[in-house]
Amino acid sequence: MIKNTELMQLLELVRNKKPLIHHITNYVTVNDCANITLAIGASPIMADAIEEAGDIAAISSALVLNIGTLNPRTIESMIEAGKSANKNGVPVVFDPVGAGASKLRNDATTRILNEIKISALRGNISEIRYISGLASNTKGVDASVDDMSDDANTIASDLSLKLRCVVAITGAVDTISDGSHTVSVRNGHPMMSSITGTGCMCSSLVGSFCGAAPESIFNGVIAAIICMGIAGEIAFEKAGLVGNGSFHMALLDAISKIDANTISGRAKVDEA
């Protein structure tokens, strides 16, 4: 299982390489995605026109696809960018926001998974259940309480084997699997679900780590999710009682100040 020294090395890689992370993402949380990508040490570019999606993906270190506010134009751009990323050996991270909530989201999810080789898939339990073909209660873009069960390990592991990519289910406990190994991350704070964008930001961190260390996707996803969780804890300690606006700001503060000591002192990761 991942060691603290490996986590710290991955963070150092992000900060030294400053990888360019191409996002085709939603307009709700895009500012937070760009800012968290910068805060962890990477460099964001948001480009969703099909006329440049392939070009930008080709010069990037990772591609993050997020269907939060998808439409037919941007779905085509995602496919174009994804194919270019695949051709150029650029890892692709997929965040299937709201999969299960509408036919458009379901069809786009199917197309992306069929036509693009994904390196890492990150979603909440409702979205991942939907993709796994299991009964899902996706209503909107937040996880349904009814879907939170104790079988996340099996679901992540099975889906990882089926899709041949790392699968991460984030929630009260985060589950990450590469099919052979499954780990649980117990960092984070419930207040993270009281602001928009913590899932999207987590996917941006996944993109940043995968872009910096494409040979270590599994560890990169774990590192990203641990960083996000630790930032949530620190943000709550600093600003949770003040309110949602301060918590939001403190989350970006925490990512920008995260370092090896913080990680080694706080990371809570176990073999599942």
Site of interaction with a copy of itself (CB under 8 A)? 20, 26-32, 34-35, 38-39, 43-49, 51-52, 55-56, 59-60, 68-73, 98, 101-105, 139-142, 194-197, 242-246, 248-257
Q: Which CB sits closer to a copy of itself, 140 or 270? A: 140
Strand ranges (E), the chain: 20-24, 43-46, 62-66, 92-95, 120-123, 166-169, 174-177, 182-185, 269-271
Rg, C-alpha atoms of the chain:
17
What is the SS3 assignment for 87?
Answer: helix
Shortest distance, position 194 Cβ to a copy of itself, whole Å? 6
Q: Which CB sits closer to a copy of itself, 179 or 197? A: 197
Q: Read off the tokens for 214.
A: 């494409």
Q: Which CB sits closer to a copy of itself, 134 or 195? A: 195
CB–CB of 231/258 below 8 Å?
Answer: yes
Q: Which CB sits closer to a copy of itself, 18 or 181? A: 18
Q: Which CB sits closer to a copy of itself, 30 or 165? A: 30
Helix 30-40 with 198-212: angle, nearest 10 deg: 40
Q: Which CB sits closer to a copy of itself, 68 or 179? A: 68
Q: Read off the tokens for 146.
A: 């009814």
Shortest distance, position 52 Cβ to a copy of itself, whole Å? 4
Amino acid at 84: S
Shortest distance, position 82 Cβ to a copy of itself, whole Å? 17
Smallest CA-to-CA distance from 238 within 257, 255, 224, 251 is with 251
For every residue of 160-215, DSSP letters joined together read: HHHHTSEEEE-SSSEEEE-SS-EEEE----GGGGGSTTHHHHHHHHHHHHHHH-TT
Shortest distance, position 61 Cβ to a copy of itself, whole Å? 10
Shortest distance, position 177 Cβ to a copy of itself, whole Å? 28
Shortest distance, position 150 Cβ to a copy of itself, whole Å? 23
